[in-house]
Amino acid sequence: MAAEQMADEGQGAAARPLDAVDRDILRMLQTDGRASIRSVAERVHVSRANAYARINRLLDDGVIRGFSARVDHERAGQGASAYITLKIVQNSWRTVREQLQALPGAAHIALVSGDFDVLLLVHSPDNRALRELVLTKLQSIPEVLSTRTLLVFEETDLDPGPGTP
Its sign, for the CA torsion 160, 56, 41, 17, is: positive
Its sign, for the CA torsion 16, 162, 122, 70, is: negative
Any idea what DSSP says for residue 10? Answer: T
pTM of this prediction?
0.72
Specify the DSSP element, H or E, that contains 148: strand 144-152
**Each residue's pLDDT tens digit, 104-117:** 999 999 999 999 99
**Each residue's pLDDT tens digit, 68-96:** 888 888 888 889 999 999 999 999 999 99
Its sign, for the CA torsion 43, 48, 50, 53, is: positive
**Each residue's pLDDT tens digit, 6-55:** 334 445 567 689 999 999 999 999 888 899 999 999 999 999 999 999 99
